[in-house]
Structure 1
């Protein structure tokens, strides 16, 4: 892994546009943006960091951006797991609370980047509660993008996924956050528990009534360890058709995540950021809990990286 520094190799300008990369564990998204942060072109590939051979990050990066024939010195900002210890270079975590400028000041710059480009890796964030650390990588960019898009300085931002993040923003800074392994727990129950014996092989379309039944039971059962077994007994007694069971189990797991949140006490704006298929489920579940949230999609990532680029450009 190459060593990196926090200071950019020279003054940063985005007058001619720049490139944004969302480089995660299993996928790579790249976008060419103009000086105002508008997307001119983008493409996706399966070249996540787990697919990159040892020492192969420069070649994968070059293949992703060569189509744009970028002049030397063009700014390229990458966020996500590319900055982890398994990535191109490690971008150490930035402690919370953190705003745009704090994160921009800890960007790790790739030495001798291909094509003479200025390649910066956005750091993740870390926080600590009761002497236990928590971390995120990539979601901080989505939150910053959501703040910029919505013109907010306060709020609670929910980023569903394999490891869902609940992020609290105060006075324009990410104050703290918490991780919930909801997507991973669902996959484990779905594939590697007794529940999988009765669930169909395919997910199928979302069954909203079954999903909401799972959300309600999660609240009533008081514990996923108890409530999860209902996915088996409802099948045994033919109370739910097999095709509805994945939606029911999804509702149980997401309902458990929401049960841990002080939703009734929250006065800050609630924002969901992520893929539509997931944010739709969370919207349904939040409604069942009497809460409302606005939603944003992929545009939050590009806007967040654009905001960081302009922060770098500012003195």
Structure 2
């Protein structure tokens, strides 16, 4: 019997989970129908189509996380300021009128970092609580991707975080800069990736290093088929070097796909960090949605 439907609704994809009364995931559905793919604000119709027979028993409790709560989404859910625990985020969830049932959209999280810059996240905080609630609290949680987040958790609260545009920079440099002219394919090369990571760990000036992704190829020191891995290593290495600058990493949890997890495990090992746990992103999202749902004062 369905007790809750949880959704991770991002920019590109929508992943839905159907939970039983104990929080176990009964079924998962996924579609490439992210926020940007939905036109004319038709989010309710899009959701109804994908839910289908999950709604056969009538109205449901539905909890949504991610970019669905942004200005481009269904309704904008304001950010919760750090330090933020699960209760604060759950209580700030936004109720949305719908014939589908009682829908709540979770807010994002914001922080003013020590360097004076503001930073925000939407969706990653749900994964964070899926990890910290499960194991008592990871000190440092990393969510690699287009915009990687490095999140510090203390006492069950998100206390600080920083965003690194690693994935987006890689795509832009590979596709739209001179660095991509010599790159052939995107196959992974462990040695080239490690070389890039190590150079970035040793030299914090990333803009100084980036041109080497061309010069090393021009003189045949890195094969054209390995240059993409080398460029990735430079960017991931710079991210890791900056994120670990204060030297207080402790245990690290990486929430990622197997491919991304492998890269970050390698980079962290080169940085001297070997106390690392890996968790699948979908598993973390489901666990976080359930934990946050239990803190919401549902009307029905």
Could you say which TM-score interval applies, normalised by the shorter chain? over 0.9
Report the TM-score when normalising by structure 1: 0.90
Report the TM-score when normalising by structure 2: 0.94
Matched, 1:277 2:259: yes
Say if 1:62 and 1:114, in contact at 8 Å, map to a contact too. Answer: no
Matched, 1:258 2:240: yes
Partners in 2 of 1:304 and 1:185 — Cα distance? 29
- How many residue pairs were aligned? 296
- State the SS of the aligned residue for 1:246: helix
Matched, 1:148 2:133: yes
Say if 1:145 and 1:302, in contact at 8 Å, map to a contact too. Answer: yes
Match of 2:149 among 165, 178, 184: 165
Deviations 1:185-219 (A, max 9, x none): 1111111111110011x312x21111001101112
- State the SS of the aligned residue for 1:153: coil
Partners in 1 of 2:242 and 2:158 — Cα distance? 20
Match of 1:80 among 36, 43, 66: 66
Specify the alignment match of 1:310 in structure 2.
294
Matched, 1:37 2:23: yes
Matching of residues 161-200 of structure 1 within 5 Å: 161-200=145-184
Match of 1:290 among 261, 268, 272: 272
Q: Give 1:276 shift.
A: 1.5
Match of 2:12 among 21, 26, 32: 26
Partners in 1 of 2:189 and 2:53 — Cα distance? 42
Partners in 2 of 1:258 and 1:267 — Cα distance? 11
Specify the alignment match of 1:10 in structure 2.
none
Q: Give 1:81 shift.
A: 0.2
Partners in 2 of 1:161 and 1:143 — Cα distance? 15
Say if 2:138 and 2:253, in contact at 8 Å, map to a contact too. Answer: no
- State the SS of the aligned residue for 1:53: coil
Specify the alignment match of 1:134 in structure 2.
119
Say if 2:8 and 2:15, in contact at 8 Å, map to a contact too. Answer: yes
The RMSD of aligned alpha carbons is 1.7
Match of 1:118 among 98, 102, 106: 102
Say if 2:142 and 2:255, in contact at 8 Å, map to a contact too. Answer: yes
CA gap 1:247/1:93 in 2 versus in 1, 3 angstroms: same
Q: Give 1:313 shift.
A: 5.5
Say if 1:79 and 1:141, in contact at 8 Å, map to a contact too. Answer: yes
Structure 2 unpaired stretches of 5+: none
Q: Give 1:267 shift.
A: 5.1
CA gap 1:268/1:217 in 2 versus in 1, 3 angstroms: closer
Matching of residues 7-22 of structure 1 within 5 Å: 16-22=2-8
Match of 1:103 among 89, 101, 104: 89
Partners in 1 of 2:249 and 2:69 — Cα distance? 34
- State the SS of the aligned residue for 2:84: coil
Match of 1:54 among 37, 40, 44: 40
Say if 1:154 and 1:171, in contact at 8 Å, map to a contact too. Answer: no
Matched, 1:237 2:223: no
- State the SS of the aligned residue for 2:110: strand
Structure 1 unpaired stretches of 5+: 1-14
Partners in 1 of 2:111 and 2:226 — Cα distance? 38
